Structure 1
Amino acid sequence: MKAVEYRLPKEFDKSFIVFKEQGLYFPCPWHYHPEYEFVLVNKSSGRRMVGDHIGTFLEGDLVLMGPSLPHVWVNDQKYFEKENTETADAVVVHFLKDFLGENFFNLPESEPLKKILNLSNRGLVILGHTRYQITKIMNAMPRQNGLKRLSSLFEIFDILANSSEYELLASPSYMENTRDMYSDRFSKITEYILRNFHRDITLKEVADQANMATTTFCNFFKEHFRMTFVEYLNAIRIGHVCKLLADRDKTIISVAYECGFNNLANFNRQFKRLKDMTPKEYRKALEAEPMIA
């Protein structure tokens, strides 16, 4: 399943894109683009795939995705049936990193927002009162122009920058273009893990790479990743498993071993925990016809 690059036309008098996606179903295939993207589903239901994450969406679903992150929204089968009378409806906002100039996101005031946008390279599903507030603003934006429309986007930025009501979707291996928010030590840690995840890696050897005591490293890692080292390592491995499962020539067992899992019971347990489905079910979902139509 190869992702295609999508580009949307931008109006000459507008610095970013707002449009309503309406029809019997959402038509876009598995794709990516250079813009950040908010997707608010007002009507419809089905499955969404963001990076290596496969989940479900219902009315009210709100997701923010970073540049070049492959994704697709696939409506439930009933939306493709001839007798269907229900419609799909969404509001989509696209903006480039430099749409406000090269230095906007480097301003001190933008630092909290910059961190959220960096996290969006894995995709964020926005929850709770934050979702309620942003939904009201986004639904008004298609009717807005000029500074009013721009101020609405700034209002969304402010709400999101001060919220923790979100969950990450794709695994850490899909997190790209975020190194500028971390120290050289942090980059060294992540690069070492990505180069060696296919074999046994001990906590101590990674701590040594960072020139940190094991306890200090554990605290540092949890603070930056919001998960333990072992949880992160498993997420990296499962993320790579998901990529390899698209290749039908590889067996699930060989993929597990190739990605560093020496115990199949543990592999199946970790995959189920992270993806809420078995490896076999994930491979079947990848091959579902609507996902590649």
Structure 2
Amino acid sequence: MNYPYESVVVNEEVPVFLLMTTVKYVAMHWHDRIEFLLVLKGKVRVYVGREDYILHENDLLLINSNEIHGVESDEDNTILIVQIPISFMKKCYKKIEQERFKCQSFLHENQQQFDEIRTLLTQLCLTVKEKKESYDLKVHSFLLDIIYHLVTNFKVKNHHELKQTSKKNIERMNRITDYIEKNYTHPLTLDEVAETEQLTPPYLSRYFQQHMGQTFLKYLNGIRLEHALHYLLETDLPIIQIAMECGFTNLNTFHKLFKDTFHTTPYQYRKNQTKSFPTPRRNREGTEGYEFVEESDLRYLYKYLEKDKNR
């Protein structure tokens, strides 16, 4: 797919996916990258497997590669997203695929090690955006520093105790989520999806809960909500038509789910968000990319550089 901003493209010269954006709802997904989320403003809820965390301003969270996660927020926010492909990290640290990292700043009082990561992420972001001559060399330098800090300060020693998703399960979940993405506009059922995988519905139900951290219905409704947000902000379609386009059986069901998630009605949400950035939206399956609207105000980042000077 084509990204609207060059800075978010992963390529050989700049092997990083990076941007600042506002997030309202991103359904559960995964990718072969290590991801940092740094909250610059507001509050977001992040789901990682069966865990969920409330992140406030300055909170930093690392999500390991192929770790299933999603994000939602019902208030104004700005977050910095930085993803480093495992393929790049493997070139400088061959054991990266066997390692797991735990970087959750909100669980610790001592913030020194987290401040070092925050500063590096800030410097990385500004370098990518400024694009000075030979900036790709500086990008690689920051990425190597980040990897060094991860390996020395945030590596999980007993990582074999952590559940890691196998390649076989990743492939199956890709097929399942891809099928849901292609058919969410229809009255899709667990039985129908189970049949495509030649599984019994009870087995698929348990499998989905185990690997996605939520029920099949919750995930399906999350996909529908994700698309509904896009229609609300990017089109003038009537709300009842949006509900039907996104696979909701009736307007009341759409209203209830929307209000339970965002604590407002679809009409009020559209009215209040006209001057805000739309949420990033997944393009297709669990390992694919996103469509983003990028935040251009870099003032949020400078405080981390000031903090670094004062250390």
Task: Summarize the Cα distance change of 1:46–1:260 in structure 2 as closer, same or farther, 3 Å threshold.
Answer: same
2:251 aligned residue? 264
* Cα deviation 1:162-197 (Å, max 9, x = unaligned): 999xxxxxxxxxxxxx99573543332222211111
Number of equivalent positions = 228
The one-letter code matched in structure 2 to 1:196 is N
Task: Summarize the Cα distance change of 1:210–1:93 in structure 2 as closer, same or farther, 3 Å threshold.
Answer: closer
The one-letter code matched in structure 1 to 2:5 is V
Given that 1:40 and 1:62 are in contact with CA atoms closer than 8 Å, whether structure 2 keeps it comes out as: yes
- Cα distance in structure 1, aligned partners of 2:199 and 2:81: 44
Given that 2:89 and 2:96 are in contact with CA atoms closer than 8 Å, whether structure 1 keeps it comes out as: no
Task: Summarize the Cα distance change of 1:65–1:151 in structure 2 as closer, same or farther, 3 Å threshold.
Answer: closer
Structure 1 position 140 matched with structure 2 position 116:
yes
1:152 aligned residue? 149
1:250 aligned residue? 237
Candidates 207, 210, 214, aligned match of 1:223: 210
1:275 aligned residue? 262
Given that 1:39 and 1:91 are in contact with CA atoms closer than 8 Å, whether structure 2 keeps it comes out as: yes
Q: CA deviation at 1:250?
A: 1.1
Given that 1:203 and 1:229 are in contact with CA atoms closer than 8 Å, whether structure 2 keeps it comes out as: yes
2:58 aligned residue? 60
1:4 aligned residue? 5
CA RMSD of the aligned region, Å?
Answer: 5.2
Task: Summarize the Cα distance change of 1:183–1:38 in structure 2 as closer, same or farther, 3 Å threshold.
Answer: closer
The answer for unaligned runs of 5 or more in structure 1 is: 18-26, 51-55, 78-87, 117-124, 165-177
2:124 aligned residue? none
The one-letter code matched in structure 2 to 1:158 is V
Structure 1 position 205 matched with structure 2 position 205:
no
Given that 2:190 and 2:216 are in contact with CA atoms closer than 8 Å, whether structure 1 keeps it comes out as: yes
Given that 2:41 and 2:57 are in contact with CA atoms closer than 8 Å, whether structure 1 keeps it comes out as: yes
- Cα distance in structure 2, aligned partners of 1:282 and 1:102: 45
Calculate percent identity across the aligned residue pairs.
Answer: 26
The answer for unaligned runs of 5 or more in structure 2 is: 24-32, 47-53, 66-70, 121-140, 279-294, 297-311
- Cα distance in structure 2, aligned partners of 1:285 and 1:180: 42
Runs of 4+ in structure 1 deviating by more than 6 angstroms, as ranges, are 47-50, 90-94, 145-148, 161-164, 290-293
The one-letter code matched in structure 2 to 1:4 is Y
Given that 1:16 and 1:94 are in contact with CA atoms closer than 8 Å, whether structure 2 keeps it comes out as: yes
Task: Summarize the Cα distance change of 1:213–1:281 in structure 2 as closer, same or farther, 3 Å threshold.
Answer: same
- Cα distance in structure 2, aligned partners of 1:94 and 1:185: 24
- Cα distance in structure 2, aligned partners of 1:242 and 1:253: 13
SS in 2 for 1:224: helix
* Cα deviation 1:220-268 (Å, max 9, x = unaligned): 1111111111111111111111121222321221111101112211111
1:85 aligned residue? none
Given that 2:61 and 2:105 are in contact with CA atoms closer than 8 Å, whether structure 1 keeps it comes out as: no
